[in-house]
Amino acid sequence: MISLHTHSIFSDGELLPSELARRCERAGYRYLAITDHADSSNIEDIIKNVTRAVEDFNRTSKLKVLPGVEITHVDPTLIAGLTSKARTLGAKVVVVHGETITEPVKKGTNLAAIQARVDILAHPGLISKSEMELAKKNNVLIEITTRKGHSLTNGHVAQLALECGTPMVLNTDAHTPSDIISRAFGMKVALGAGLSKKQAESLLKNSEKFAKRNFGLM
């Protein structure tokens, strides 16, 4: 299993980065990204603290962990600047908290994230076809999520991504130990979104390709 979208105590997760990584390692994960919620108030501290923990973990573990952020609930006009800042500070994965139907995310967030060429647009809700087409053009990965609530629109997202040829990834958006799922369960979520077995497996292949590229393995 691979997840490029998880949370630690540096935002609203329950676990220290080291425990989150250890639990994922024990569950058989190969790659992980810790992407705590960030805005202008905490982005420096998150990246600094998570990067330090990740460096320690990567020296002693087979599981490889990337430091990142999830830019969350900021005005769309701020997304490009925060994306650039996150990368300058050392974030290897920049996720944007998309327009999930279960939270009051400001309209225009999906488009601003795609225009900013973030790495992953998380749980993009009722994303439009034009946005999905632009995501393909800008090499933005679209998330299929196993997170309850956010997963309600997985079917819409998957169908539109397939229609537009936009690459997808499967993420847990883990906040608690119970959110750390098995590969088998992740595949069930992807199948439930209307993907074939081959299409579902391609989501993890996309995640692995992204992670290996960031670790300099390809």
Mean pLDDT of 64-85: 98
113 with 79: CB under 8 angstroms? yes
The predicted-structure confidence for 165-203, as pLDDT tens digits, reads as follows: 999 999 999 999 999 999 999 999 999 999 999 999 999
Round to whole Å and give the CA distance between 164 and 133.
6
Instruction: Supply the pLDDT for residue 43.
Output: 98
At 214 the pLDDT is 87
pLDDT at 217: 60
pLDDT of 101 over the 80 cut:
yes
Mean pLDDT of 33-48: 97
- Predicted confidence band at 145 (pLDDT cuts at 50, 70, 90)? very high
Q: How many CA atoms lie within 13 A of 120 on its CB side?
A: 33
Domains within the chain, CATH numbers bracketed: 2-214 (3.20.20.140)
Mean pLDDT score of the chain, rounded to an integer?
A: 96
Average pLDDT of the residues in 130-150: 97
How much of the chain exceeds pLDDT 70, in percent?
99
Q: The pTM is what?
A: 0.96
Centre a 10 Å sphere on the Cβ of residue 195 and count the other Cβ atoms it contains.
24
pLDDT value for 215: 82
Q: Which amino acid is at 114?
A: I
pLDDT at 89 over 80: yes
> Are β-strands 141-145 and 31-38 bridged in parallel, bridged antiparallel, or unpaired?
unpaired
Q: Which has the closest alpha carbon to 167: 189, 138, 192?
A: 138
Is the pLDDT at 79 greater than 90? The verdict is yes
